[in-house]
Structures are given as structure tokens and as C-alpha cells.
Amino acid sequence: MIPTPIPEVRAAYCARILVALKPARDASLTKNGVALSTYDDVKKSIAVQTKINNARQKTGAYKVDGVPMLFVNGKYITSNTHAKGDTARIMVIVDQLVDKARKEMAGAK
């Protein structure tokens, strides 16, 4: 597993990635008929900012440290680490966890 860098280093790294990807993002938006001003307005909207903050809180609460990482019913978690590097196996594990969660939910009724 890759060690999680200190928050300041991670934030700086992510900021550099976003800056590097901005020209490609803008070109894609323009190509698909989305005005950059409209994109910026939506990105800054209260609804979108609320969803971003919610995602950040969940990422911290679930201790997400890599991808792919999947959660089932807010209770079970699996990742590439659990699948021993076999990404195809992740879906097998997810199917098992979904079945388990469904049985638990059916039993709770």
C-alpha cells in the first residue's frame, strides 16, 4: 500500500494536477458545447459545493487511501488490496457483500 503523504504535500500535489488538466478539461467542455462561464457558475454553486464537502467528509470517514475502493450499504468495504491486486476479483467480492447486506436488510424487516 502506498503511504498517505502529509495533507499539505497531498493538497499541493492535487492542486498541480488540477492546473495541468485544466486546458484539457476546458477543451472538452467547449467541444461538447458547455460554456466555460456556465461550468464555473455550476462548480461554484451551493448545491455542488455541498456535494463536494459531503464527499470529502465521507472520504475521511471511510479512510479512503486509494482506488478502486467500493462501499456496500455504508457498512462494508473492499479495495484492490482486499482483492490482492486482482481488480476483476473486486466485483466478485462486491457481489458477495451486496448479497450479505440484502440478507441483513431482509432480516431486519
Where are the domains positioned within the chain?
A: 1-64, 66-109
Check residue 45 and give its pLDDT.
97
Count the helix, strand and coil residues of the chain and give each as a percent rounded to the nearest 5. 65, 5, 30
Kindly give the residue spans of alpha helices, DSSP state H, lying in 7-86.
Answer: 7-31, 36-43, 46-61
Whole-number Å distance between alpha carbons of 109 and 104: 9
**pLDDT average per 10 residues of sequence, the chain (109 residues):** 65 85 94 96 96 90 81 87 83 93 88
CA-based nearest residue to 48, from 56, 2, 107: 56
Check residue 1 and give its pLDDT.
47
CB atoms within 10 A of CB 90: 18
- pTM value > 0.75: no
